[in-house]
Chains A and B, each alone.
Chain A
Amino acid sequence: MPVPATNSKLIYEALKECDIRLVSALPETWLVHLIRLADDDPEMILVRLAKEEEAVGISAGAHFAGVKSAMLMQNHGFLAAINGIVSFAHLYKIPLLMLISYRGSLGERDPWQTQGGNVTEPLLHALRIPYFFLDALDTVRKRIRQGQTLAESSLQPVALLLTRDLMWEE
Chain B
Amino acid sequence: MLRLECLRSVYSQLENCLVVTIMGAVAAELHSLGHRSNFFYLQHAMGLASSTGLGLALCLPEQRVVVFDGDGSLLMNLGSLSTMARYRPRKLVHVVFDNESLLSVGGFPTATSTGTDLDGIARAAGIPRVTTVRSVESFEVAMTDALQGNELTTIIAKVEAKGPAAYVTDLSLLENRFQFRRHIQSLKAR
Given contacts A50-B83, A54-B77, A87 and B55 within 8 Å (CB-CB): no
Contact with A along B83-108 (1 / 0, CB 8 A): 10011000000000000000000000
Residue of chain B at shortest CB distance from A91: B44
Instruction: Classify the secondary structure of B's interface with A.
Output: helix
CA distance A2 to B18 in the complex (A): 45
Selected contact of B51 from candidates A48, A54, A87, A93, CB within 8 Å: A54
CA distance A66 to B43 in the complex (A): 21
Set of chain A residues within 8 Å of B47, measured between Cβ atoms:
53, 57
Selected contact of B48 from candidates A22, A56, A93, CB within 8 Å: A56
Contact with B along A123-143 (1 / 0, CB 8 A): 000000000000000000000
**Contact across chains for A47 and B58 when beta carbons are under 8 A apart:** yes
Interface hits, A45-100 → B, CB 8 Å: 45, 47-51, 53-67, 69, 83-84, 87-88, 91-94
Q: Report the minimal beta-carbon distance from B26 to chain A, rounded to whole angstroms.
A: 16
Residue of chain B at shortest CB distance from A21: B59
Name B's A-contacting residues (CB within 8 A): 18, 20, 40, 42-45, 47-60, 77, 79-80, 82-83, 86-87, 173-174, 177, 180-181, 184-185, 188
Set of chain B residues within 8 Å of A60, measured between Cβ atoms:
48, 52, 55
Can you list 19 A-B pairs, Cβ within 8 angstroms, ordered by A?
Answer: A22-B58, A45-B58, A47-B58, A47-B87, A48-B86, A50-B80, A54-B48, A54-B77, A57-B51, A57-B55, A61-B52, A62-B56, A62-B59, A65-B59, A66-B59, A88-B45, A91-B44, A91-B45, A92-B177
